[in-house]
Amino acid sequence: MVSIIIPFKNPMPYFEDCLKSILRQSYSKLQIILVNDGSTDSSLKIAKEHQIKDHRIKIVANNGSGIIEALKTGANLAIGKYICRMDADDLMDENKIEDLRNLLLLKGENFIAIGKVAYFSSGKEMGNGYINYAQWLNKLTANSNNFNEIYKECSIPSCCWMMYLNDFLKIKGFQDLIFPEDYHFAFKVYYGNLKIATTQKTIHFWRDHPKRTSRNEKIYSFENFIPLKLYYLKKYELKEHDQLVLWGAGKKGKKIAKELIKDSFPFIWITNNSKKIGHIIYNNKIGPLNYLKKEVKKIVICGISDPNFKLPNDSRFNRFFKFY
């Protein structure tokens, strides 16, 4: 059996299409856990109508408030051998659950099964950011390289994964999550030492619409990604006597610097922009890029978004993390 956790809060008019895409799955042994997070639209009524027709559906009220508490409420009720999640405004390919489960049957435990994703729009035209993100993610998924760039962006596709419930519990899946919760979950999977199994099929469809949470809530803005990245960098990557180096003094680099200063992270700040070398920003003097050539143990955070950046010849560092 596969347990599917679906939190919902005012997802109309998209909720019924979402439920239908779940109910028509080719793999039928499902526990469908719908967690009502205080909906005031007709979605609870729709959920109850489908529950009467299909005994696989279980409807519960969120034990707390918000998406994270709703996920925890649903996960605590999971009894399937496998677990996954779904957003109440998205759609599944009819073979999604079967495809992901087959991957896990083939690979066994200690794997997370993922597939490719696609955006589609209901109403407002999609921006390039969403399209570029899906393309970047699918490129990683095609080669099972999702963890290679985990510090750049959330590299496990939201709602397009499945794992054994035992593995989910081992990494404390939805426990102690902070926003952005999908990204935090991806870090848990990575540092929980799970491996990736992928299908080359596009099996999940993200719906973009004017009310989409990630479009409207500040908790999903880039500024909220930085503290999460730095938390895991400090916990797992930064070793004693390592020197933390921040490369980039532009708008994005400054945002990272602010978080480092707020958390009392000592760091060396460098740039390849000759106009900023020697300047004092936030009481830190900006140095040149050739600092990377020094023979000291260094952890480098790259805070520049230029995809054509080049490391200086003879650069020396222990680890390099691109945040963009």
**pLDDT 10s digits, 262-274:** 999 999 999 999 9
Mean pLDDT across 13-23:
98
Work out the pLDDT band at 215, boundaries 50, 70, 90: low
Predicted pLDDT of residue 199 = 98
Q: Which sequence spans correspond to the domains of the chain?
A: 2-220, 241-322
> What gap in Å lies between CA 287 and CA 284, rounded to an integer?
9
As a CATH number, domain 241-322 is 3.40.50.720
> Which residue bears the tokens 């490391």?
311
pLDDT tens by residue, 220-267: 777 789 999 999 999 999 998 999 999 999 999 999 999 999 999 999
Annotate 73-138 with DSSP letters as a single string.
HHHTT--SSEEEE--TT-EE-TTHHHHHHHHHHHH-SSEEEEEEEEEEESSSPPPHHHHHHHHHHH
CATH superfamily of 2-220: Spore Coat Polysaccharide Biosynthesis Protein SpsA; Chain A (3.90.550.10)
